[in-house]
């Protein structure tokens, strides 16, 4: 199993576009936004926070959503299309291991991406880091797992790699919208914000842990439930060829 | 001794019968061919043997194992080269072999295997940069990495140029000589004739015959064809009335005379008596294609 993860990790590193988007993009976006003076000046409309302070949680959403809803379903669907999964099923190792390895690679990439973002937040912009690190970590992990489960569900149901890409993009857009990646969340109407708090990857819990309180178990519970349900349905309905 | 036994195999897809009561046995140490036109049910048959499909009827034993019930154990003893199955673009050949080797209890040394397959200098090459023939050899390497007792090779040489095809044939013989039983799925007559100890002819989901290539040919033995272009008009009746001739066909300017016995002598005598020169004269012995036509009533490649 370790060898499969290691191999998949190497393959991930060899796809420059994947690495750039999943690992570097959120940090680069922060640097670009932070280079604009207006966005790093405290503003009373944001409750005397700077735009970049408020936007960091959205950058975390971008990183997690890309890994779970773009990289994962397109890779898995193309593995099925090319017969990579089928070839696995002729060996003593079940092809499900390859999917598990993909999710683990996502977790590693996600951790690196977010740590990098945090380091730049702290070192360059003096942005407050999460005050409840454990809660933040658990939320990120559950958030990524729930998005990965949704990504696998898309891969399970899409007839081919191209439509997997298309369907995943729709879910990706929704997650990004509710997660405040397009418009900062304080600009969204209240009812959308409430929905967004509960949807994967759990913006509500991310913000709570950022502000220093332990994440609401209800938020985490929803993420765990999505992971469990989507993961189970994906596993049951997955077509290996 | 039989290492594979297939009895009355039936497999249906959406009410279409793909394999209809096929039975055969494969002996240990032989190259066993499964030959038939595209869509005849060859791949479905071997994929049932590999345990990738559940048969709708019949029984299969591979080295004493039931492919569905004993999946895990079967996969350790059976090496499979799938039709149309690729690897991730950016995986290096050496990495792929190293990874697949880790799936087996007692794998072959993959460096040695690569050297045997003429890929020693490709270990660090990414899969997407390989030629078609090299990809096919990697595929064979993956089928052999677990030191299988049986290797199933499906449409091994499709899409290869003639030189790569001949190299691959040599390779298959080496595999057999190393003690591995080979099941070879093909629609190439020449390939089956050259490599196989025995052949199962399959057509429209049914088994037509199982025999050695020579055995199959002998079913239409004695039949030969003389092909030539008469330099002057020739009354075909002069040929058809000969006892040696069974029938005459006209292909444009060419005549194809089919018959038995001393056919060539009989035909050339008629031509000589009528002072007609036969240009481009060729004589053809019956081969596997003729056996296939005789046994199924149609040509293999249609």
Tell me whether residues A79 and B88 touch, CB distance under 8 A.
yes
Token pair for residue A215? Answer: 């994440």
Say whether both B147 and B170 belong to one domain.
yes
Say whether both B154 and B24 belong to one domain.
yes
| Separation of alpha carbons B142 and A83, rounded Å | 14
Condensed to tens digits (0 to 9), the pLDDT of residues B56-65 reads 988 999 998 9
Whether B218 is in a domain gets the answer no
Tell me whether residues A10 and B95 touch, CB distance under 8 A.
yes
Distances (CA, A) of B245 to B83, B222, B234, B250, B262: 43, 12, 15, 14, 10
Q: Considering only residues B280 and A215, tell me which one the structure prediction assigns the higher pLDDT.
A: B280
Condensed to tens digits (0 to 9), the pLDDT of residues A47-88 reads 677 878 777 888 888 888 888 888 888 888 888 888 899 898
Condensed to tens digits (0 to 9), the pLDDT of residues B153-189 reads 988 887 778 888 888 888 889 889 989 999 999 888 8
Say whether both B23 and B172 belong to one domain.
yes
Q: In the listed set B186, B212, B238, which residue is the last one of a domain according to the structure?
A: B212
Say whether both B139 and B244 belong to one domain.
no
Say whether both B159 and B269 belong to one domain.
no
CATH number for the domain including B70? Answer: 3.40.50.300
**What's residue B7's pLDDT?**
92
Distance from CA of B50 to the nearest CA of A (A): 7
Q: In the listed set B157, B188, B212, which residue is the last one of a domain according to the structure?
A: B212
With a cut of 60, say whether residue B276 has pLDDT above it.
yes
**What's residue A113's pLDDT?**
92
Say whether both B207 and B241 belong to one domain.
no
With a cut of 80, say whether residue B272 has pLDDT above it.
yes
With a cut of 80, say whether residue B3 has pLDDT above it.
yes
**What's residue B150's pLDDT?**
93
Determine which of A207-221, B25-39, B168-182 has the lowest per-residue pLDDT on average.
A207-221
Best of A2, A9, A89, A92 to mutate (most B CBs within 10 Å, chain B): A92
Give the mean pLDDT of A121-125: 85
Tell me whether residues A84 and B50 touch, CB distance under 8 A.
no
Whether B256 is in a domain gets the answer yes
CB B142 within 8 Å of CB B96: yes
With a cut of 50, say whether residue B263 has pLDDT above it.
yes
| Separation of alpha carbons B127 and B120, rounded Å | 14
Tell me whether residues B87 and A87 touch, CB distance under 8 A.
yes
CATH number for the domain including B232? Answer: 3.30.70.100
Give the mean pLDDT of B225-240: 84
Whether B295 is in a domain gets the answer no
Within 8 A of B88 by CB-CB distance, chain A residues are: 11, 79, 82, 84
Whether B233 is in a domain gets the answer yes
With a cut of 60, say whether residue A173 has pLDDT above it.
yes
Say whether both B281 and B194 belong to one domain.
no
Say whether both B234 and B187 belong to one domain.
no
Give the mean pLDDT of A166-174: 86
With a cut of 60, say whether residue A97 has pLDDT above it.
yes
With a cut of 50, say whether residue B302 has pLDDT above it.
no
Say whether both B56 and B204 belong to one domain.
yes
With a cut of 70, say whether residue A118 has pLDDT above it.
yes
Tell me whether residues B85 and A83 touch, CB distance under 8 A.
yes
Place of tokens 């280079």: A35
With a cut of 90, say whether residue B91 has pLDDT above it.
yes
Question: Is some CB atom of chain A closer than 8 A to the CB atom of B76?
Answer: yes
Q: What is the mean pLDDT of chain B?
A: 87
> What percent of chain A lies above the pLDDT cut of 70?
96
Say whether both B202 and B230 belong to one domain.
no
Question: Is some CB atom of chain B closer than 8 A to the CB atom of A83?
Answer: yes
Tell me whether residues B88 and A84 touch, CB distance under 8 A.
yes
Q: In the listed set B165, B192, B212, which residue is the last one of a domain according to the structure?
A: B212
Q: Based on the structure, what is the number of domains in chain B?
A: 2
Q: In this structure, what DSSP letter does residue B122 have?
A: G
With a cut of 60, say whether residue B126 has pLDDT above it.
yes
**What's residue B223's pLDDT?**
75
Give the mean pLDDT of B293-298: 76
Say whether both B65 and B203 belong to one domain.
yes
Q: What is the mean pLDDT of chain A?
A: 84
* Number of DSSP helices (H) and strands (E) in chain A, helices first: 12, 0
| Separation of alpha carbons B182 and B32, rounded Å | 6
B127 to chain A: closest CA residue: A11
CB A144 within 8 Å of CB A90: no
Instruction: Give the model's confidence band at B127: pLDDT under 50 very low, under 70 low, under 90 confident, else very high.
Output: very high
Tell me whether residues B87 and A84 touch, CB distance under 8 A.
yes
Whether B294 is in a domain gets the answer no
With a cut of 50, say whether residue A114 has pLDDT above it.
yes
Within 8 A of B52 by CB-CB distance, chain A residues are: 86, 89-90
With a cut of 70, say whether residue B222 has pLDDT above it.
no
> Which among A11, A86, A92 is the nearest to B90, CB-wise?
A11
With a cut of 80, say whether residue B300 has pLDDT above it.
no
| Separation of alpha carbons B69 and A162, rounded Å | 35
| Separation of alpha carbons A176 and A61, rounded Å | 7
Instruction: State the ipTM, two decimals.
Output: 0.82
Instruction: Give the model's confidence band at B221: pLDDT under 50 very low, under 70 low, under 90 confident, else very high.
Output: low
**Cis previous bond, A201, omega within 30:** yes
Say whether both B172 and B281 belong to one domain.
no
The residue segments making up the domain with residue B230 are 224-285
Best of A10, A87, A96 to mutate (most B CBs within 10 Å, chain B): A87
Distances (CA, A) of B108 to B29, B184, B247: 19, 21, 56
Residues 90-129 of chain B with CB under 8 A from chain A are 90-91, 95, 98-100, 102-104, 126
Question: Is some CB atom of chain A closer than 8 A to the CB atom of B87?
Answer: yes
B190: Cβ contacts below 8 Å, ≥ 6 apart: none
């Amino acid at each position: 199993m370790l060898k499969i993860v290691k191999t998949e990790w190497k393959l991930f590193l060899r796809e420059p576009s994947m690495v750039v988007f999943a690992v570097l993009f959120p940090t680069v976006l922060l640097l670009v936004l932070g280079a604009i003076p207006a966005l790093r000046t405290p503003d009373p409309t944001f409750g005397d926070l700077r735009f970049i302070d408020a936007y960091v949680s959205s950058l975390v959403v971008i990183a997690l959503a890309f890994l779970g809803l773009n990289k994962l379903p397109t890779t898995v669907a193309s593995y099925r299309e090319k017969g990579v999964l089928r070839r696995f099923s002729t060996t003593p190792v079940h092809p499900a291991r390859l999917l598990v390895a993909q999710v683990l690679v996502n977790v590693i990439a996600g951790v690196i991406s977010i740590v990098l973002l945090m380091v730049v937040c702290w070192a360059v912009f003096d942005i407050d880091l999460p005050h409840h690190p454990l809660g933040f970590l658990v939320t990120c992990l559950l958030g990524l797992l729930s998005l990965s489960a949704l990504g696998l569900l898309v891969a399970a149901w899409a007839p081919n790699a191209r439509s997997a890409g298309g369907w995943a993009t729709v879910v990706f857009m929704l997650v990004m919208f509710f997660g405040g990646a397009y418009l900062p969340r304080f600009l969204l109407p209240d009812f959308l914000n409430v929905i967004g708090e509960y949807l994967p990857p759990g913006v509500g819990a991310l913000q709570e842990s950022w502000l220093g309180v332990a994440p609401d178990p209800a938020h985490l519970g929803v993420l765990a439930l999505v992971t469990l349900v989507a993961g189970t349905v994906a596993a049951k309905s997955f077509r290996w060829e | 001794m039989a290492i594979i036994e297939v009895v009355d195999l039936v497999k249906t897809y959406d009410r279409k019968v793909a394999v209809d009561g096929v039975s055969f046995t494969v002996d240990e140490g032989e190259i066993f061919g499964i030959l038939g036109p595209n869509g005849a049910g060859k791949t479905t048959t071997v994929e049932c043997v590999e345990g990738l499909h559940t048969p709708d009827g019949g029984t299969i034993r591979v080295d004493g194992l039931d492919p569905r019930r004993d999946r895990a154990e079967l996969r350790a003893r059976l090496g499979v080269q799938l039709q149309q199955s690729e690897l991730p673009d950016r995986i290096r050949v050496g990495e792929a072999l190293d990874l697949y080797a880790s799936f087996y209890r007692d794998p072959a040394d993959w460096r040695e295997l690569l050297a045997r397959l003429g890929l020693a200098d490709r270990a660090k090459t990414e899969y997407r940069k390989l030629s078609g023939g090299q990809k096919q050899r990697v595929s064979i390497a993956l089928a052999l990495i677990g030191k299988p007792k049986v290797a199933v090779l499906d449409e091994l040489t499709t899409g290869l140029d003639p030189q790569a095809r001949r190299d691959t044939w040599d390779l298959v013989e080496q595999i057999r000589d190393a003690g591995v039983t080979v099941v070879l799925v093909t629609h190439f007559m020449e390939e089956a004739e050259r490599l196989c100890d025995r052949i199962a002819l399959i057509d429209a989901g049914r088994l037509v015959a199982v025999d050695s290539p020579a055995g199959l040919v002998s079913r239409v033995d004695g039949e030969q064809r003389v092909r030539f272009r008469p330099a002057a008009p020739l009354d075909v009746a002069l040929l058809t009335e000969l006892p040696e001739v069974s029938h005459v066909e006209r292909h444009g300017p060419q005549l194809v005379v089919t018959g038995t016995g001393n056919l060539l002598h009989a035909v050339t005598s008629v031509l000589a008596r009528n002072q007609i020169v036969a240009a481009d004269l060729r004589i053809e012995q019956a081969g596997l294609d003729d056996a296939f036509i005789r046994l199924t009533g149609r040509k293999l490649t249609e």
